Every structure is written in structure tokens, then in C-alpha cells.
Amino acid sequence: MSQHAYSEYQLVEQPAIGLLAALSWQTVSALEETFGAGGTLGRETRGEAA
């Protein structure tokens, strides 16, 4: 993942994660999500809404 100052990661994702943390929301990185009954987000397939 690019860490360039003008990347989506720096301009969008990190501020959003910071805002959610300030609101006491819990966040999770699903970059390496697993699927099935014991999956990361409880989804059976990638196409299923979380």
C-alpha cells in the first residue's frame, strides 16, 4: 500500500478511522478477510454484504 502524502489511504481512510475512533466505534482491517462460519466478519462469501 502506498504511503504517499496524497494517497486515498492518507486523505480518506486514516481521517475516517480517526473519526470513528473519536466516536468510540470499533474498527477492523479486513484486508486479509477470511470467509465461512468462523470468518473475520462472519460472511460466507466476498459478495455477501457485511
What residues of the chain score a pLDDT lower than 50? none
Identify the pLDDT of residue 23: 98
Identify the pLDDT of residue 1: 55
Identify the pLDDT of residue 44: 93
Identify the pLDDT of residue 29: 86
C-beta of residue 48 within 8 angstroms of C-beta of residue 42: no
Write down the domain spans for the chain: 1-50
C-beta of residue 10 within 8 angstroms of C-beta of residue 4: yes
Identify the pLDDT of residue 5: 73
Interatomic CA distance for residues 42 and 40, integer angstroms: 6
pTM of the model: 0.60
Identify the pLDDT of residue 3: 61
